[in-house]
Amino acid sequence: MNIAILSGKGGTGKTTVAVNLAQILQANYIDCDVEEPNGFIFLKPTVQKSEQVKVKYPVIDKDRCNLCGKCVQVCQFNALFNSGKGILTLEKLCHSCEACGIVCKEEAIQFADREIGSIEEGQSANLKCFRGILNVGEPMAVPVIKQLLAAAPAGLNLLDCPPGTSCNAVSALQYADAAVLVTEPSVFGFHDLKMAIKLVQGFNLPFGIVLNKWSPEGSSYKEYLDKENIKILGFIPNTREIAEEYSKGNTLNEIPEINKVFSDIAREITEVFKCN
Amino acid sequence: MQLTVISGKGGTGKTTIAVAIAELEKGQVVKTDCDVDAPNMYLYYQGKTREAESFSGGNKAIVDDLICNDCGQCQEVCKFDAIENGKVSYFNCEGCGACTLVCPQEAIRLLPEKTADIIVTENTDGFLIYAQMEIGSEGSGRLITVLRKKAQRYAGDNLIVIDGSPGIGCPVIASLTDTDAALVVTEPTQSGLEDLRRIVGLCKQLRTETFVCVNKADINEEMTKQIEGYCQTENISFVGKVPYDETVFRSINELKPIVYYEESAANKAIEQIWNNVKDSLGLSPSQ
């Protein structure tokens, strides 16, 4: 079973929730925030396996190309350009759809691989840990997320998702069976949470909320969720101790009160999503 | 002059600082929210709508069931597993059109899909340009490019302040390309530093002049020092530290930019940071 941890807004505590819950639930941890993967900082796994993520791009055979320009016309992503002397390829704009190859009557287009990122697998105590890493300068994270999740192991997996509600989050959610939405009691947090809720509802996923950086001043947000009949899985208090431990790259289960908070959330998750 | 505020890591305080800078330059700045996935800047500004238009960031394939003869060639050619038995999966389809090219029945068409509304509002503080994206849609890079073109039209010679998105991918690249300077807002955590390295790497590739500031600097003084040291090694201007300040949460929840809490420590620090950036860019200091 794959449980997605997501948020809409960045920096609300997805990684904190995912790594600490992975320890308690003894679940596999999978970092899908491939633009900024931070989970390994906390779980510190020994990396045992690493593989490249490659995508295809068109290579034009100049001897065969007659500059008809059909490939340029058909490319929806402006990745090909006819200079009059040759067809230029803008690799980073290419989505690897190979439509250009279909329309080329001269058979002048071949496809080659290029690396855009990598996937790592490691072990931290008894936890299996995975992460995708997008190379700096590469715009498209989706192929890295897809390759990472296509190889996800059986059993209970926690997917630490990218922020936002567009293609990156969508590609991770396609592999999810349930979702935990992490938010903070602020106007921004809830504005973006509502977008994330619409997204998981679009996928018909069962979901619940973790309220992070919680203080009683945020009670109106709790009331809102209660009124909307949205399941709250737990509250993580807003304390300086948590912020400091996080800043050092430590997990929080060593702090007894916080360990109890995460254990309660883990129990709720097991009950609500019927996983164990 | 265009300044893009970015962070790598999410939730470090980009919007708070971008809005503060815009307020310090009141009336002479166009604000552009390029965090199109989760736009928050507009929440601060009630204004008159000057422009609203819908935007298409790409196409989706549409199959005409009446003509489709279930030959399955579309499915074979699709690299995104987006078509199965003549049914197109909305989330998987990238609108490349490969299926339309192989369909012997010509039963598939590409149709532009609305992915966002672009909105320009005006109030006494100036213009704000932002977008409301359809949930789960694509093409945020294209959308950002359009937002920035619009901003240039409204700004003339004035400053454009761009609130960027977290990460280093397509929306961030679109927000940074050809901008005059980037202000990176980071936090003194292991994650903040790790993500700072990646965003600075991107800024270098794009040859963007880069400034770094640390928010909530006193959460971990040791990490803040490490970040300062890192900037020195990389030869990047370190422009200041903002202390952890509860007033920032109040400012967000009251939707009043931090500059209106004049005595707050965060406000004073941000003002200093902005003056340092202006100084480096050769702009005249704020009053």
* Digit-coded pLDDT (tens) for A96-137: 999 999 999 999 999 999 999 999 999 999 999 999 999 999
Determine the pLDDT at residue B281.
94
Contact B43 A191 (CB under 8 A): yes
Confidence of residue B284 (pLDDT cuts 50, 70, 90): confident
Average pLDDT over residues B213-218: 97
* Digit-coded pLDDT (tens) for B148-187: 999 999 999 999 999 999 999 999 999 999 999 999 999 9
- Chain B residue numbers with beta carbons less than 8 Å from the beta carbon of A76 are 58-59, 95-97, 110
Average pLDDT over residues B201-219: 97
Instruction: For residues B126 and A253, give the distance between their C-alpha atoms in angstroms, rounded to a whole number.
Output: 48
* Cβ burial, residue B184 (10 Å; 0-12/13-18/19+): buried
Interface membership of A192 toward B (CB under 8 Å): yes
Contact B167 A77 (CB under 8 A): no
Contact A246 B189 (CB under 8 A): yes
CB B189 within 8 A of CB B199: no
Interface membership of B135 toward A (CB under 8 Å): yes
pLDDT-above-90 percentage for chain B: 93
Determine the pLDDT at residue B46.
85
* Digit-coded pLDDT (tens) for B102-135: 999 999 999 999 999 999 999 888 999 999 999 8
* Digit-coded pLDDT (tens) for B231-253: 999 999 999 999 999 999 999 99
Looking at A62-76, B130-144, B198-212, which range is the least confident one? Answer: B130-144
Interface membership of A215 toward B (CB under 8 Å): no
Confidence of residue B286 (pLDDT cuts 50, 70, 90): low
Determine the pLDDT at residue A27.
98
- Chain A residue numbers with beta carbons less than 8 Å from the beta carbon of B101 are 74, 99, 102-103
pLDDT-above-70 percentage for chain A: 100
* Digit-coded pLDDT (tens) for A179-233: 999 999 999 999 999 999 999 999 999 999 999 999 998 999 999 999 999 999 9
* Cβ burial, residue A196 (10 Å; 0-12/13-18/19+): buried
Mutate to test the interface with B, among A31, A166, A194, A244 (most CBs of B within 10 A): A166
pLDDT-above-70 percentage for chain B: 99
Contact B36 A244 (CB under 8 A): no
Task: Tell me, rounded to whole angstroms, the distance of Cα A65 from its chain centroid.
Answer: 40
* Digit-coded pLDDT (tens) for B13-38: 999 999 999 999 988 999 999 999 99
Q: Please give the structure tokens belonging to residue A214.
A: 């919680």
Query: Nearest Cβ partner of B136 from A96, A202, A243?
Result: A202
Interface membership of A205 toward B (CB under 8 Å): no
Determine the pLDDT at residue B185.
98
Q: Which of residues 239-268 of B touch A (CB under 8 A)?
A: 249, 252-253, 255
Q: Please give the structure tokens belonging to residue B183.
A: 């202000």
Task: Measure B275 CA to nearest chain A CA, in Å.
Answer: 27
* Digit-coded pLDDT (tens) for A42-55: 999 999 999 999 99
Query: Nearest Cβ partner of B40 from A35, A188, A199?
Result: A188
Tell me how far apart the terminal alpha carbons of chain A are, to the nearest angstrom. Answer: 9
Is the pLDDT at A276 greater than 70? The verdict is no
To the nearest whole number, what is the mean pLDDT of chain B? 95
Number of A–B residue contacts, CB under 8 Å: 176
Domains of chain B: 2-55+116-281 (3.40.50.300), 57-114 (3.30.70.20)
Contact A170 B91 (CB under 8 A): yes
Interface membership of B24 toward A (CB under 8 Å): no
Q: Which of residues 58-97 of A touch B (CB under 8 A)?
A: 74, 76-77, 95-97
Instruction: For residues B226 and A95, give the distance between their C-alpha atoms in angstroms, rounded to a whole number.
Output: 39
For residue B115, give the chain A residue with the closest CA.
A166
Confidence of residue A274 (pLDDT cuts 50, 70, 90): confident
Task: Record the pTM.
Answer: 0.96
CA neighbours within 13 Å on the CB side: how many for A261? 22
Interface membership of A238 toward B (CB under 8 Å): no
